[in-house]
């Protein structure tokens, strides 16, 4: 049979008679409860504040401060007001019980205390008290849960928007670059059919050049979407490829502390997020900063910290974040980090350069 009397339940027994305290303690100690004892009202208040018991068994007739006044003071304290109080009394008249109800007593037991009645009352009150606490916790948790649900819905919507942005980018690349190249290749082959041998040879040479350009463009598009070495060899190897390609295309030097021979691996979502943040930051620097050099620093210990810094033109952060939300720029980087429960910071102002910093917690062993 399930026993509500578990070690997490505590009961404060308050009576000025040590024999009665001992007798009640003997009745309850076999139920694996945590028992506290007080011999007067002042001790009851002190012990209640210090321990926040699940139930108080309170005598009525005590020297100094009687049970009624003790109960009134307990109920006046917001931290103690919800603790169930059972008054144990030899007073069996109607007025005493009404007075007890007026000061906030939950139930009454008459001396001498019957063992079965005591256990039944205690069990019932602890059950109700436990249910009340669960309901309070549920009520307190509901707003947090709703906020998390809203956040999840917003993130899901944002993910859909980012996916659509990437799809539009891929569609544009395929239509504009790849599509035009294929159209030009088709026209070249059609023209070659009606040409002389010498002209046909020149046309076919041109077509081969178009095929090489098309292959390179498709490979570049594939690498932009996700370099295979990120999955195969990890973040540091992928950054070697990214830095070399970036400098070749933009003529911007990258000053870094990255060891490309470092074979450490991190959780895949973190590697992907760190790579994309560096990639996006470098792209933004090439487009807007007007610099010849960008710094990239990575530190890995208990956390993986990524920092990209330039001394370029900088920008008005508040304004660009609004525009960046639509393009998946700054907002996209922040959401990647937030999704992994990391920290993201970007510092910039016109003429003062830009610093992007992301920190990921490394809780897994890898």
CATH tag, 234-366: 3.30.565.10
Q: Report d(CA 261, CA 253) in Å as an integer.
A: 20
Task: State pLDDT tens for residues 175-216.
Answer: 666 777 777 788 888 888 888 888 888 888 888 888 887 777
Q: pTM to 2 decimals?
A: 0.48
Sign of the alpha-carbon dihedral angle for 129, 135, 136, 137: positive
Q: Which CATH number fits domain 10-113: 3.30.360.10, 3.30.70.1150, 3.40.50.12500, 3.40.50.2300?
A: 3.40.50.2300
User: Cβ distance 310 to 285 under 8 Å?
Assistant: yes
So what's the pLDDT on residue 262?
A: 85
User: Cβ distance 48 to 79 under 8 Å?
Assistant: no
Q: Report d(CA 58, CA 76) in Å as an integer.
A: 16
Q: Report d(CA 75, CA 79) in Å as an integer.
A: 9
Q: How confident is the model at residue 4 (pLDDT cuts 50, 70, 90)?
A: very low
Residues in the chain: 366
How, if at all, do strands 343-348 and 34-38 pair? Answer: unpaired
Q: In terms of Cα–Cα distance, which of 210, 314, 292, 299 is closest to 246?
A: 292
Count CB-CB contacts under 10 A for residue 21: 19
Q: How confident is the model at residue 7 (pLDDT cuts 50, 70, 90)?
A: very low
Averaged pLDDT for residues 138-149: 77
Q: Report d(CA 161, CA 32) in Å as an integer.
A: 57
Task: State pLDDT tens for residues 126-137.
Answer: 887 777 777 777
Chain Cα centroid distance, residue 17: 53
Q: How confident is the model at residue 328 (pLDDT cuts 50, 70, 90)?
A: very low
Q: Report d(CA 135, CA 215) in Å as an integer.
A: 64
pLDDT at 233 over 90: no
User: Dmax over Cα atoms in the chain, in whole Å?
Assistant: 125
pLDDT at 150 over 60: yes
pLDDT at 325 over 80: no
Contacts of 70 (CB under 8 A, 6+ apart): 14, 41, 44, 45, 58, 62
Residues of the chain with CATH 3.40.50.2300: 10-113
Phi, psi of 358 (to 5 degrees): -130, 140
Residues of the chain with CATH 3.30.565.10: 234-366
Q: Report d(CA 60, CA 16) in Å as an integer.
A: 10
Q: In terms of Cα–Cα distance, which of 256, 266, 274, 272 is closest to 310?
A: 256
Give the rounded percent of residues in the chain with a pLDDT score beyond 90: 27
Averaged pLDDT for residues 162-173: 67
Task: State pLDDT tens for residues 35-70.
Answer: 999 999 999 999 999 999 989 999 988 888 999 999
Phi, psi of 295 (to 5 degrees): -100, 140
How, if at all, do strands 55-59 and 354-361 pair? Answer: unpaired
Helix (H, G, I), strand (E, B) or coil at 306: strand
């Amino acid at each position: 049979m399930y026993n509500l009397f578990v070690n997490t339940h505590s009961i404060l027994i308050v009576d000025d008679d040590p024999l009665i305290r001992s007798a009640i303690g003997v009745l309850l100690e076999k139920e694996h409860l945590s028992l506290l004892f007080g011999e007067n009202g002042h001790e009851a208040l002190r012990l209640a504040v210090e321990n926040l018991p699940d139930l108080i068994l309170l005598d009525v007739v005590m020297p100094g401060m009687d049970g009624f006044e003790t109960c009134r003071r307990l109920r006046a304290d917001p931290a103690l007001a919800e603790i169930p109080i059972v008054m144990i009394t030899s007073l069996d008249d109607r007025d005493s019980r009404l007075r007890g109800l007026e000061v906030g007593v939950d139930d009454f037991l008459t001396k001498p205390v019957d063992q079965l009645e005591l256990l039944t009352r205690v069990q019932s009150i602890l059950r109700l008290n436990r249910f009340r606490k669960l309901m309070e916790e549920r009520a307190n948790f509901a707003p947090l849960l709703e906020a998390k649900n809203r956040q999840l819905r917003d993130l899901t919507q944002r993910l859909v928007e980012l996916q659509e942005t990437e799809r539009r980018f891929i569609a544009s690349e395929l239509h504009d670059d790849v599509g035009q190249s294929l159209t030009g290749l088709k026209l070249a082959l059609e023209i070659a059919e009606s040409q002389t041998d010498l002209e046909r040879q020149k046309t076919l040479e041109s077509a081969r050049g178009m095929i090489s350009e098309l292959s390179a463009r498709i490979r570049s598009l594939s690498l932009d979407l996700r370099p295979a070495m990120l999955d195969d060899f990890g973040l540091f190897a992928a950054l070697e490829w990214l830095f070399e390609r970036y400098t070749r295309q933009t003529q911007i030097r990258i000053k870094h502390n990255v060891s490309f021979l470092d074979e450490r691996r991190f959780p895949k979502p973190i590697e992907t997020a760190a790579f994309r943040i560096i990639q996006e930051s470098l792209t933004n620097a090439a487009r807007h900063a007007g610099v010849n050099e960008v710094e990239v620093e990575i530190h890995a210990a208990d956390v993986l910290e990524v920092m990209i810094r330039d001394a370029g033109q900088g920008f008005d952060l508040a304004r660009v974040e609004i525009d960046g939300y639509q393009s998946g720029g700054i907002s996209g980087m922040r959401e990647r980090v937030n999704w992994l429960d990391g920290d993201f910071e970007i510092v910039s102002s016109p003429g003062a350069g830009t610093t992007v910093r992301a920190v990921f917690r490394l809780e897994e062993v890898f």
